[in-house]
Structure 1
């Protein structure tokens, strides 16, 4: 049995996220992808959270926001999620980590919002309710989540390990194949019993400049590879099949370069909004290769004066990962890279992965400095939606210049009602509806925006106000109370509860990692935990505290436990769990810090939550600490005033301090020289400018999301070149008859795309006159389960003990196979029934009926499958004329013999075996061995003529057998001989 349920992305024109649930026999549940979209709506993950406690395995397909954007969020905020085994390829792991680091570093809304229902009945409803942010995963946590992913290679069958709360997987085997579209993109093949499932999301059959094509076809390109042939179910995405204008890849690349060259020749800048670490690699590779090839051409001056920038907060790590993943790229890039590495030392060649023409921008100050420069440039910035990342900031800087150009590499979808709210959506609609064309040699539609004004909503992070802080504290208290009620521990008050939370968050041992699952998803920001006095002032009612009021309430020594259940009837116990490893109890380094090393905020020591007022005798103070003296403000030294330019002290900048000290020592001459360097040529990068960006002071405290409406005036030009890298409808309709799936599921697309493709697929799959019920096409909606079980002639029965003792099992690829012959009996035999039938009176029938009923009732109690038919051995009197499976003539040969293994076996026996053409092996110059498309081995004799052509004999050694018969024997020796019993 196989049930498919789309959790996200089905029949949705706006949400591009993808997530699907595959339910197999035995309660095995496989989650494929944990996608998200630029709205970062946590309600899209409700179904994922509901199924988390029953999931067995998670598979990831692509390193894009659509396929793993919510992975880190689920690991942090959904209990037990990070205990589920995850499988992906190496590029998906590395590039996915880089993507999420950029996401959480650039988009505050990616942390997720606290649901309005969790704020209590007293909070304001609707748009007026405060948008409290959940705690976002840190870079260390993201690295930890991705380090747990199990890495697989292409064409590597693997039997995954189930999660701790999953039933046995029953021999589930998963295999990854190349999907194109992204580096390391995966088509998953799942084999479970009789079910063969192919899951293909966002694949691309076209080989690109850097990325390989999907691995559907074999080397010859005439047929689909054997593991992906005739699956019981094919799950395929349909997004992008309604492309209005599809051009070949080479023409697409030329159009992009023509647009870029035309813009930079006029002194303009080009912005290409794309993702952080997936499709951006193809764009960067094409531009870098073009710059390499044209540095000595007729337009060399134009290319030399133009810079290519890769702008994202994780751009450095992305480029570092790409350098180590050469084997995942297409064959042409691999050959060029190997040739460059094997070049002579005195004449080194520049390899295809030499990104010397691409500069990395990972700070906002670097982006602003690059945009202020006069020379033309090309900016590859994240993200396509322009709601977060450097793309939104870049378009605000270049939108007013009519010489600049924005190239949209893929379509940006609108919301459900068709209204465009985001900046990227409005720019796409402005291009799609534009009628003003600018002449271009590229043949691409270019629209002149001509002063259009766009209004879009921008999100910013703000600190909480006083009334919001109280509401947020109440929310935290309710979450703690809910957690303690559900888990039955951690009911301690004040500092003990906070210390336990800090211990659990900081511990890395296996024991603590199991216990930490209970705390995930509760939105407890450890850095903003209230002290014991603040908790008592949090506005908690008696109902909120429950029985914990005996610990947290002052002067309360009684609690009514009548009509209470569970832990509400037991006196609460505040226990602090001590962490220990093989070397004893763990210590906290902050307990051993010196006074000047402790972090201090507003005079409060974060370690013991005590205010520092008057310094005791022998106690050290930090520089500038007034020690509680009233007139100390008038005695602050010069350094303290320099370090505090305003009311709040800015973070220390070591480089600025050194420069300031050097300037004071050298006098005015050095100051004038520094000023001359700073105010010099704008085009040359100034080494005196600091890239330091102060962190948000509220980044560690409770925060909320504030939306503001902004306006943007567009004077630049707009264009679209399709670099989405997904398959075309024509490719899919050509491959479908070769794949020959029993059932087809279409997902991850809008309703129009699904209806259009499903109609053509139904007509194509039933063209050969086969039954439409056996070859069906489904397009379910989100949450709609579809039964995709195989319609086979399979029944359940029991094998008698006599027959089971005669079976000879053969192990073939992890499966037990046996052939047998028997007789089915639907009624159980009762001992003594034959003797009873010989009696003359009717007492025998009564005894037989009573014995049968007693046997049935006993079997029902002991075995629920007692009424299944039983397969018994064939009686000796009935065996005459019945062909049994144990005869040598009826033995079955099962298995898949590889020609390379047969060649090695024959060479070990003294034969000469050479490959002659694809799939053909010539043995001793007279015998030919071929392997057909369906895996059938054919052995033919190549010498002689007539009827004896296939029976050529050639003596080898002392055996006296010919080559033909020895080859036949070797073929049968490589297969499993399945005998039987009767």
Structure 2
């Protein structure tokens, strides 16, 4: 049986915005990536709200925000609750991306799209997989198997293979890279032959890459010229993906004394730089064969950097001697340290700005790639500043009032809780000592004071602990005959212990966020040097020719690149081509004459299944009727917001409205191909004598005849008797009567 396959692009269709696609295989809805969009438009957020409760599984391809950045928002704010699958590096590095993204925004604005708790909650739901590890989905996804395959591009990057038992396979390959790099192997698409549906992006369809050696020389030349001119180099990178390739390359260049870079500084700047490098050290098995052999042989960890200094703030970076090269996040320069350094360095003609990836249109990095430097640009500058003067006084007043109110509430809660405990003790009869309050006027027990207890009071000592568990008291483990230490040593131990247990509270500095419109003169040299790690257009077309998929869905590309792939496939590949626009639903079912209908609960409850050998069968005579709506059009609450679900919304929930069946009466049908020779044996087992004569099976001393006529029907003839009804019943038992 062929599955119904449909695809809808929520984002990343006929444009270069982050990918987010909803794949439907029969009734199972799988979200392929859920990319972060720095400029979250209301329409996209509305789409996420509509689908959050209908998604059965999420597949994540890469750890960067452009592939999974909307996940914390969907889990924390929209209540997404379904299995999420990703490779181990995507899980680990994805957290680093989201922590850095959150902190980058929080440093300059009141960011409330999601919280760090939302990030943790989202990643707790992720099932971590290894490459080529097949997982069978459960529940509605029974029969579907998903397998992650290496994709290159980033550590843990994944091409997803989705298969249904005994049917065709679906391949989701987005942003893959077939070339080997310094720290990653290429993808393994050659193992996939003629998939049923191949979903790929057209981002690089019309783009031709420079040779790797030419690219590296260009970067080296730019860095040397800038540093020798006493300028600084800003390289905008991501948090924990493509930055590994650049960091490894630059640290190797700094180690080479002939390069002339040894005298200058090299720094990695983001909010989680230390964690990123530590995670990279522990994931060598996910990297290139060359790095793995080096690590296994000489035990050389390629991410044990000698010259790369890790910084977590601009204050730490200021301590790094200039001139310097700084790898700063975020890659799109819409937020983070890369944007702050750009504002500081762009006006100096001695400095250099290097952009390593083409981000989504509308971002600062993309604007610099498309239009270059040597011009004036208007930027929105967000800052977090300390409160001063009347604002500070007002803040302190509100803080004091809030603290007093919390203290009052706490006292009330303590009083209520003590009363509840005391009354529960009396009602449950756990103790036989009851202290009656003397002089009580209003009745009841234990209302006047909290110092009296229904039994002897017990105060439990609080156990002190650190990261490794309960703090050990050395005196508890001393031998009885041990020599007592001098008093001064004991005092030192106590003082030292008290110092380790004391944690100074960092006072909260009251701040506010402001937004300024600033005109910036870009005098620094601006260059785009491709370190994206994606297959170029020529390679993509060759891969499509080798795979020869039956159907191709082209996503995430502008009109020019999308049409380029469409035209090539029409000329060189015998396949159906789809290029969905945003929100459009495409039907990629292999059999175009198959239609999907829904069985209503009332219809299913009336079906009577009959066993026929190894199968159970039921007969349906029904009429196809179009349903007015897929769901009841009633209000629903999402993110504490009441949203009216109209007819248009209902269509979106089910991707496409379906027809249903209304049952109508039908004549009785007998299903089986009965052989009279087999029925003779059945009669014999029931102690009924029978014999063949002239092609007729005679039984019960010739009083009953069983014969097959030309139409294939079996006829029973004989006198009405108990034997007749018994033979007929045995005959009916050989059929599934529907």
Q: If the TM-score is normalised by the length of the shorter chain, which range does it land in?
A: 0.5 to 0.7
Provide the C-alpha distance between the structure 2 equivalents of 1:61 and 1:606, rounded to a whole number of angstroms.
46
Q: Residue 302 of structure 2: which of 346, 349, 352 is its match?
A: 352
Q: 1:40 to 1:321 in 2, by over 3 A?
A: farther
Q: Does 1:214 align with 2:181?
A: no
Q: Does 1:186 align with 2:158?
A: yes
Per-residue displacement from partner, 1:461-512 (whole Å, max 9, x unpaired)? 6899xxxxxxxxxxxxxxxxxxxxxxxxxxxxxxxxxxxxxxxxxxxxxxxx
Q: Does 1:323 align with 2:281?
A: yes
CA contact (8 A) 2:11 2:18 kept: yes
Q: Residue 11 of structure 1: which of 11, 14, 28 is its match?
A: 14
Q: Does 1:177 align with 2:152?
A: no
Provide the C-alpha distance between the structure 1 equivalents of 2:164 and 2:667, rounded to a whole number of angstroms.
27
CA contact (8 A) 2:386 2:509 kept: no
Report what 2:381 is aligned to: 458
Q: Does 1:393 align with 2:340?
A: yes
Per-residue displacement from partner, 1:225-283 (whole Å, max 9, x unpaired)? 1xx3222111111112222x422223322332232233323332211111111111111
Report what 1:232 is aligned to: 196
Q: 1:136 to 1:792 in 2, by over 3 A?
A: closer
Report what 1:99 is aligned to: 97
Please provide the CA RMSD for this pair.
4.0
Provide the C-alpha distance between the structure 2 equivalents of 1:430 and 1:868, rounded to a whole number of angstroms.
76
Report what 1:22 is aligned to: 23
Provide the C-alpha distance between the structure 1 equivalents of 2:668 and 2:35, rounded to a whole number of angstroms.
45
CA contact (8 A) 1:18 1:33 kept: yes
CA contact (8 A) 1:34 1:70 kept: yes
Provide the C-alpha distance between the structure 2 equivalents of 1:206 and 1:727, rounded to a whole number of angstroms.
7
Q: 1:425 to 1:695 in 2, by over 3 A?
A: farther
Provide the C-alpha distance between the structure 1 equivalents of 2:665 and 2:135, rounded to a whole number of angstroms.
33
Report what 2:648 is aligned to: none
CA contact (8 A) 2:108 2:384 kept: no
Tell me by how many angstroms 1:868 deviates: 12
Tell me by how many angstroms 1:61 deviates: 0.6
Q: Residue 200 of structure 1: which of 166, 170, 173 is its match?
A: 173
Provide the C-alpha distance between the structure 2 equivalents of 1:765 and 1:742, rounded to a whole number of angstroms.
9
Report what 1:708 is aligned to: 516
Alignment of 1:142-291 (within 5 A): 142-162=119-139, 168-193=140-165, 194-217=167-190, 225=191, 228-243=192-207, 245-291=208-254
Provide the C-alpha distance between the structure 1 equivalents of 2:298 and 2:99, rounded to a whole number of angstroms.
32
Per-residue displacement from partner, 1:544-585 (whole Å, max 9, x unpaired)? xxxxxxxxxxxxxxxxxxxxxxxxxxxxxxxxxxxxxxxxxx
Provide the C-alpha distance between the structure 2 equivalents of 1:387 and 1:795, rounded to a whole number of angstroms.
46
Q: 1:753 to 1:876 in 2, by over 3 A?
A: farther
Q: 1:143 to 1:803 in 2, by over 3 A?
A: closer
Q: Report the 3-state secondary structure (helix = DSSP H, G, I; strand = E; otherwise coil) of the residue aligned with 1:180.
A: coil
Q: 1:362 to 1:874 in 2, by over 3 A?
A: farther
Tell me by how many angstroms 1:783 deviates: 1.1
Report what 1:51 is aligned to: 51
Tell me by how many angstroms 1:353 deviates: 2.4
CA contact (8 A) 1:230 1:741 kept: yes
Provide the C-alpha distance between the structure 2 equivalents of 1:173 and 1:609, rounded to a whole number of angstroms.
54
Q: Residue 137 of structure 1: which of 91, 107, 115 is its match?
A: 115
Provide the C-alpha distance between the structure 1 equivalents of 2:668 and 2:538, rounded to a whole number of angstroms.
50
Alignment of 1:482-497 (within 5 A): none
CA contact (8 A) 1:455 1:710 kept: yes
CA contact (8 A) 1:803 1:873 kept: no
Tell me by how many angstroms 1:725 deviates: 1.3
Alignment of 1:724-763 (within 5 A): 724-763=532-571
Q: Report the 3-state secondary structure (helix = DSSP H, G, I; strand = E; otherwise coil) of the residue aligned with 1:304.
A: coil
Provide the C-alpha distance between the structure 1 equivalents of 2:661 and 2:199, rounded to a whole number of angstroms.
42
Q: 1:322 to 1:870 in 2, by over 3 A?
A: farther
Tell me by how many angstroms 1:290 deviates: 1.8
CA contact (8 A) 2:18 2:360 kept: no
Tell me by how many angstroms 1:315 deviates: 1.1
Provide the C-alpha distance between the structure 1 equivalents of 2:326 and 2:565, rounded to a whole number of angstroms.
36
- TM-score, normalised via structure 1 length: 0.49
Per-residue displacement from partner, 1:504-556 (whole Å, max 9, x unpaired)? xxxxxxxxxxxxxxxxxxxxxxxxxxx9xxxxxxxxxxxxxxxxxxxxxxxxx
- TM-score, normalised via structure 2 length: 0.65
Provide the C-alpha distance between the structure 2 equivalents of 1:698 and 1:144, rounded to a whole number of angstroms.
28
Tell me by how many angstroms 1:403 deviates: 2.3
CA contact (8 A) 1:200 1:235 kept: yes
Matched pairs, number: 531
Per-residue displacement from partner, 1:946-967 (whole Å, max 9, x unpaired)? xxxxxxxxxxxxxxxxxxxxxx
Q: Report the 3-state secondary structure (helix = DSSP H, G, I; strand = E; otherwise coil) of the residue aligned with 1:456.
A: strand
Q: Report the 3-state secondary structure (helix = DSSP H, G, I; strand = E; otherwise coil) of the residue aligned with 2:200.
A: strand
Alignment of 1:724-803 (within 5 A): 724-766=532-574, 775-791=575-591
Report what 1:405 is aligned to: 352
**Structure 1 unaligned runs (5+)?**
112-131, 163-167, 218-224, 342-349, 416-421, 432-448, 465-530, 532-598, 613-691, 700-704, 767-774, 810-824, 828-859, 878-982
CA contact (8 A) 1:9 1:18 kept: yes
Q: Report the 3-state secondary structure (helix = DSSP H, G, I; strand = E; otherwise coil) of the residue aligned with 2:309.
A: strand
Q: Report the 3-state secondary structure (helix = DSSP H, G, I; strand = E; otherwise coil) of the residue aligned with 2:266.
A: strand
Q: 1:310 to 1:69 in 2, by over 3 A?
A: same
Q: Report the 3-state secondary structure (helix = DSSP H, G, I; strand = E; otherwise coil) of the residue aligned with 1:52.
A: helix
Tell me by how many angstroms 1:104 deviates: 0.8
CA contact (8 A) 1:412 1:428 kept: no
Per-residue displacement from partner, 1:29-64 (whole Å, max 9, x unpaired)? 111111112224454222122111111111111111
Alignment of 1:493-508 (within 5 A): none
Alignment of 1:367-766 (within 5 A): 367-370=317-320, 373=321, 375-415=322-362, 422-431=363-372, 449=373, 452-460=375-383, 603-604=403-404, 606=406, 608-609=408-409, 697-698=510-511, 706-766=514-574
Provide the C-alpha distance between the structure 2 equivalents of 1:871 and 1:248, rounded to a whole number of angstroms.
69
Q: Report the 3-state secondary structure (helix = DSSP H, G, I; strand = E; otherwise coil) of the residue aligned with 1:387.
A: coil
Provide the C-alpha distance between the structure 2 equivalents of 1:695 and 1:253, rounded to a whole number of angstroms.
46
CA contact (8 A) 2:20 2:35 kept: yes
Q: Residue 263 of structure 2: which of 302, 305, 329 is its match?
A: 305
Q: Report the 3-state secondary structure (helix = DSSP H, G, I; strand = E; otherwise coil) of the residue aligned with 1:3.
A: strand
Tell me by how many angstroms 1:397 deviates: 2.5
CA contact (8 A) 1:154 1:178 kept: yes
Per-residue displacement from partner, 1:76-118 (whole Å, max 9, x unpaired)? 2112x1x21111001111111001101110114999xxxxxxx
Provide the C-alpha distance between the structure 1 equivalents of 2:665 and 2:164, rounded to a whole number of angstroms.
23
Q: Report the 3-state secondary structure (helix = DSSP H, G, I; strand = E; otherwise coil) of the residue aligned with 2:149.
A: strand
Provide the C-alpha distance between the structure 1 equivalents of 2:118 and 2:152, rounded to a whole number of angstroms.
29
Provide the C-alpha distance between the structure 1 equivalents of 2:670 and 2:217, rounded to a whole number of angstroms.
70
CA contact (8 A) 2:29 2:55 kept: yes
Q: 1:765 to 1:304 in 2, by over 3 A?
A: same
Per-residue displacement from partner, 1:882-916 (whole Å, max 9, x unpaired)? xxxxxxxxxxxxxxxxxxxxxxxxxxxxxxxxxxx
Tell me by how many angstroms 1:779 deviates: 0.6
Report what 1:519 is aligned to: none
Q: 1:353 to 1:732 in 2, by over 3 A?
A: same
Q: Does 1:2 align with 2:5?
A: yes
**Structure 2 unaligned runs (5+)?**
388-397, 413-504, 597-607, 622-659, 678-738
Q: 1:57 to 1:262 in 2, by over 3 A?
A: same
Report what 1:923 is aligned to: none
Provide the C-alpha distance between the structure 1 equivalents of 2:82 and 2:313, rounded to a whole number of angstroms.
35
Q: Report the 3-state secondary structure (helix = DSSP H, G, I; strand = E; otherwise coil) of the residue aligned with 1:604.
A: helix
